[in-house]
Structure formats: structure tokens, C-alpha cells
Amino acid sequence: MNVAAYNFAYLDEQTKRMIRRAILKAIAVPGYQVPFASREMPMPYGWGTGGVQITASIIGPEDVLKVIDQGADDTTNAVSIRAFFAKVANVAVTTHTAEASIIQTRHRIPERTLTEGQVLVYQVPIPEPLRYLEPRETETRKMHALEEYGLMHVKLYEDIAKHGRIATTYAYPVKVEGRYVMDPSPTPKFDNPKMHMSEALQLFGAGREKRIYAVPPYTEVVSLDFEDHPFEIQHFEEPCALCGATGVYLDEVILDDHGGHMFVCSDTDNCEDRREHGHRGTLAGHALEAAE
């Protein structure tokens, strides 16, 4: 990427003002998708340009930035975005959730409870939760305006009819403060309860779809469900093989060609922190390289 001649945090001031105005409206109307004039960024759309534009518009020299991709700080995507801001905004970066003032994320919410003053910036591919039910933007906008969310309930109920349960496991729709149905981005539904009454400000940016939305701190975020089929998060049979953690989101890692596998923390910072504090899983002796 060519960032030879750039403004602080890359974006020009007029673009930042436009995005900042959108962020303020998004906070004032929790869960409502504010349109904004998304800009080209020096990275492809799949790399979370919506999140990058939000981070670029809020970040200041005092901030400490953490970037995660599927829970990991060390993927190409996360490393590139972190390096980008270290260069164009000269900010401190970290992998430790507790040290970060801004956490930009793709597809996970950290396991460690976020605290007041932290901002979680989500990279969102498709912001419209009703899109699969109604492709026309003019119609979905009307449905949000009229709070016509019956179709969404029908879709979830069809799941139950077909699978005996709600089969949606990612991007599981939520209702914000009893008003707007919102897509939490493709996080596992495991993370949905973390959004509810979070102390942190949550900002969502969809670059290609040109939408910004927000959940302020201490805001009700309820996963849609039915009385006879209440919302449930995923449960894992075994603890993390490396740190022994339970009650966290695990990824399956293939170890060899003979069906060997293990389940490990998706949140790499949380896993490392636990191991540093002496927690051991059943495969902790095996070097991680064996899995790579």
C-alpha cells in the first residue's frame, strides 16, 4: 500500500468529519444503520474497510490499538491493519485486550470483559439483517421504519421447523434497546450475550455497503428467539487443549492426516494470558508449531 503522502490516520479531514457525523447519529439511534459516503482505502473491501474508516476517524495519538481477526492478533489481515495504523497514526499497538483503548475486530468479541472507555470497532460485510429476506434496500428501510420484523421471526421459525432448533450460528440477529433489529456482523452467536449492557462503546462499519451503526454502552441487546425455543449459545464438550479454559469460544485445529485434532481458544490473547498464568490444557506440552 502506498501511504507515502497521507494525512494523520490516512483519511482527509473532510472525510473524517463526514464519518464522525455519521458515528454521532449512530450512537443517538442505537442499532439504526446510518448511510455514509464510504471512501476507497489502500486495502481491498474484504479487509474491513468499514472498520478501518471508523478507526481512522476516531483514533488519536493517545490511543492504544488492538486488531483481531477471528479472535487472533497474528493473522495477515490483523497484522496489516495494525501496521497501517502504527504507520499513519503513529499510535501504540497491543495484543492485550485490557491495554487497548480501541479494538478493531473481524468476527469475534474478546473473551475478557470490555470496560468503560474502550471502543470495539466491528468490520461488517453485510449490515442489513433483513437482506436475505428482502433484497431491496427501499423495502428493508421501510421495514425498519415500521418495525416490521415478522419476516425475520418467520425465517428463524422455519429453522426450527426444519432442524428442530434455530440453526443460525453466525450473524444471529439481535434487537437493540427494544427497537431496531441489527446484524451483529458474522460473530458466532456465542458472542451475542457480550454485546448486552457492555461497558464499551460498539461501533460497526460496513465499507462496501456504506453503513455505520452503533450500540452505546449499557444498552439492551437481545438475541431474537421464541418462548418455546429460547436463544442458546454454543457449548463445547471439552476445554481448550492449550490453556484448559471452559466457557470460551473454541476453534477446531487439525493436527495430522489421521484425524488428529484439538480444540483451542479462538481468542489467542486470552489463551496466551491464561498459559502465562500457569493454566495448562491436555495438549499444553505439544508445541503449537505441531498444529501449524
Partner 1 sequence: MDAVIEGGFTDRVLGAQSVFRATMDALARPGTVQSIASDAAPPAPLTQELGALALTLCDQDTLVWLDPVLASSEAVTGWLAFHCGAPLTADPSQAQFALVTEARHLPKLDVLGQGTDEYPDRSTTVVLAAAAGTQRVTLKGPGIKNRLDTELPLPGGDFLAQWADNRERFPRGIDILIVRDGALVALPRTTRISEA
List residues binding partner 1 (CB under 8 A): 7-9, 13-14, 16-18, 20-30, 32, 34-35, 57-61, 117, 141-142, 144-146, 177, 179-180, 199, 201, 216-220
Binding at 216: pick from Zn ion, partner 1, none (beta carbon under 5-8 Å per type): partner 1
Shortest Cβ 242–Zn ion spacing (Å) = 5
271 counts as catalytic: yes
Binding at 121: pick from partner 1, Zn ion, none (beta carbon under 5-8 Å per type): none
Shortest Cβ 233–Zn ion spacing (Å) = 18
247 counts as catalytic: no
265 counts as catalytic: yes
Contact between 269 and 276 (Cβ < 8 Å): no
Closest CA to 262 of 251, 273, 276: 251
Cα(59)–Cα(6) distance, integer angstroms: 15
Among 207, 243, 281, 285, which one carries the catalytic annotation? 243
Binding at 179: pick from partner 1, Zn ion, none (beta carbon under 5-8 Å per type): partner 1
Q: Is 245 in the site for Zn ion (CB under 5 A)?
A: yes
Binding at 44: pick from partner 1, Zn ion, none (beta carbon under 5-8 Å per type): none
Among 48, 51, 207, 265, which one carries the catalytic annotation? 265
Q: Is 283 in the site for Zn ion (CB under 5 A)?
A: no
Using the minimum distance from each CB to Zn ion, give the nearer residue, 41 or 262: 262
Q: Is 203 in the site for Zn ion (CB under 5 A)?
A: no
Contact between 216 and 197 (Cβ < 8 Å): no
Contact between 231 and 238 (Cβ < 8 Å): no
Q: In terms of residues, how long is the chain?
A: 292
Q: CB within 8 A of 170, min separation 6: which ones?
A: 107, 186, 187, 188, 189
Shortest Cβ 228–partner 1 spacing (Å) = 30
243 counts as catalytic: yes
117 counts as catalytic: no
Strands (E), 124-257: 174-176, 180-182, 201-206, 211-215, 221-223, 250-254
Residue in 59, 114, 240, 283 binding Zn ion, rule: CB under 5 A: 240
Closest CA to 211 of 146, 125, 147: 125
> How many helical (H) and strand (E) elements, i.e. helices and strands, does the chain have?
7, 12
How large is the greatest C-alpha to C-alpha distance in the chain, in angstroms?
A: 58
Shortest Cβ 141–partner 1 spacing (Å) = 5
Using the minimum distance from each CB to partner 1, give the nearer residue, 148 or 159: 148
Closest CA to 281 of 257, 270, 292: 270
Shortest Cβ 286–partner 1 spacing (Å) = 44
By annotation, the residues acting in catalysis are 31, 240, 243, 265, 271
